[in-house]
Amino acid sequence: MNLASGCILPRDICPASKANPGNSGIIHDMRNPKIGPTEQTEREITMLGDKDVVATIAVKDLVTARKFYAETLGLTAVGGEGQEVIVFKSGKSTVNVYRSQYAGTNKATAATWVVGQDVDNIVRELKARGVKFEHYDFPGMKREGDVHVAGRIRNAWFKDPDGNILSVVNG
């Protein structure tokens, strides 16, 4: 696994590994106060603004997670790493669900789907599939059923089987 490039495949297969086999040297140079950032490191740092991001969510049991993310949320499994990771596709995004002893310890929202005007319909459908929604007391927000409302923003929070907080928002 090449965590530096975000690739979940072995290092010799990851495209970033082949393109920049000297990655560890860049990290070493950045730690040395006598050596300033190189043109290459500047490019790598500033290029994140136009790159896709992947949600990475820890779970205890991949069988339970696969059922929830695929059957309940409707995501498509597109890959994985044996008994450690399942890669799901959601729109143009990727959600990596991985096995971890720390699953469910995050007390903040782990992933949010921007669903436009479909918030209420999606909330109804998820509720019909057994999802229980979280209710929070946020200043300046009111609740319409399971949907929190603040001005034009409509947001609903729920948890996966491990307690990871997920949400849908109209955006």
Span 54-169: which CATH code?
3.10.180.10
- One digit per residue, the tens of pLDDT, for the chain of length 171 reads 444 444 444 443 344 433 333 333 333 334 445 555 555 555 555 667 888 889 999 999 999 999 999 999 999 999 998 889 999 999 999 999 999 999 999 999 999 999 999 999 999 999 999 999 999 999 999 999 999 999 999 999 999 999 999 999 998
Please enumerate in sequence order all residues whose Cβ is within 8 A of that of 45, keeping only pairs 6 or more positions apart, or say none: 37
Q: Do residues 156 and 167 make contact, with C-beta atoms less than 8 angstroms apart?
A: yes
Q: Hey, where are the domains in the chain?
A: 15-50, 54-169
Give this prediction's pTM.
Answer: 0.72
| pLDDT in the model for residue 87 | 98
CB 90 within 8 A of CB 75: yes
Tell which residue, 99, 103, 115, has the closest CA to residue 155: 115
Q: How far is CA 16 from the centre of its chain?
A: 21
Tokens of 169: 């928002």
End-to-end CA distance of the chain: 34
